[in-house]
Structure 1
Amino acid sequence: MVRRHKKKSRKYLGSRSWGAGNIKNRRGKGNRGGKGRAGIHKHRRLWAIKYEPPRLRVGFPGKKKKLKVLSLDELNKQIEKGFWKPDETGLFKIDLSSQDIKILGSGNPSYKVDVKANAFSKKAREKIEKAGGMTSVKI
């Protein structure tokens, strides 16, 4: 039967080091850096920070979630394109809380909107409420 993949060992025929770089890089136990958790506070410190349980971790804080931003101008354009439909009172109910979005205040809202998002700038909140809309933050 025909094979779809050749053995990896065939790739390295004629290659002296089999992808290890210099010959000395895989020679003997001296290249291991110790056995078990040896060197956890010395040469394996970054490994410990990354993989050890939190009680043993040291150092770097976790990443903060970055919010995507959406301006009031872009919100108006999306309403004009028909992404959201108004209810009987003419109010557009827009729920962006699942998308991790912060609403910024550049532009002016042309419509009454009830926006639910992760965060609002002060100006965005003022402008929306001044236009007769409502804002609510996801908890």
Structure 2
Amino acid sequence: MTFRKRKKNSRQRGSHTHGWGEKKKHRKAGHRGGKGRAGSGKRADQKKPMYWLEGRTSKSGFKSKNQAESNAINVGDLSLMIDNKKFEKKGNSFDIDLSALGYTKLLSKGAAKYPMNIAVLAATEKAVEKVKSKGGNVVLPQ
């Protein structure tokens, strides 16, 4: 058990390079090829893929503050959730309030397996058709 550790510089006395390998490696930024974006200019197009991969290009444009975030769910996903016993059956159909679950829009991907009464802020026409074809209903705000 070590109870007193000596400082690194006193331990490395006499080691010639102090853990840097060869002498020529412990210099300024020349050993690592420059600082920052050094070498990015005047190399034709060879350096571009490296900069794309590293994500060094800055983002451009701006994002609108007034952009409404929508959180959508598919009809098929609701059927899977019913299969996994996420909702209880009330009468002949399942009552689902999507806005209480944090969803704002109902999309039509997948199949509606069960009759569902769904309350949601927005829905596509095709999604409403699929739910109604199984004897369900989609309630949208007026």
Does the alignment pair 1:93 with 2:95? yes
Structure 2's unaligned 5+ residue stretches are: 1-62
Identity %: 23
Structure 1's unaligned 5+ residue stretches are: 1-59
Partner residue, 1:75: 78
Aligned 8 A contact 1:97 1:138 in 2: no
Does the alignment pair 1:135 with 2:133? no
RMSD: 1.8
Partner residue, 1:48: none
Q: Which amino acid is the alignment partner of residue 97 of structure 2?
A: D
Aligned 8 A contact 2:73 2:103 in 1: no
Q: Residues 22-41 of structure 1: matches in 2 within 5 Å?
A: none
CA distance in 1, matches of 2:94, 2:123: 17
Partner residue, 1:121: 124
- TM-fit CA distance, 1:138: 3.5
- TM-fit CA distance, 1:66: 1.4
* Number of matched pairs: 79
Query: Which secondary structure does the structure 1 equivalent of 2:89 belong to?
Result: coil
Q: Which amino acid is the alignment partner of residue 93 of structure 1?
A: D
- Aligned structure 1 segments of 4 or more residues deviating by more than 4 angstroms: none
- TM-fit CA distance, 1:100: 3.9
Aligned 8 A contact 1:103 1:120 in 2: yes
Q: Which amino acid is the alignment partner of residue 136 of structure 2?
A: G
Partner residue, 1:54: none
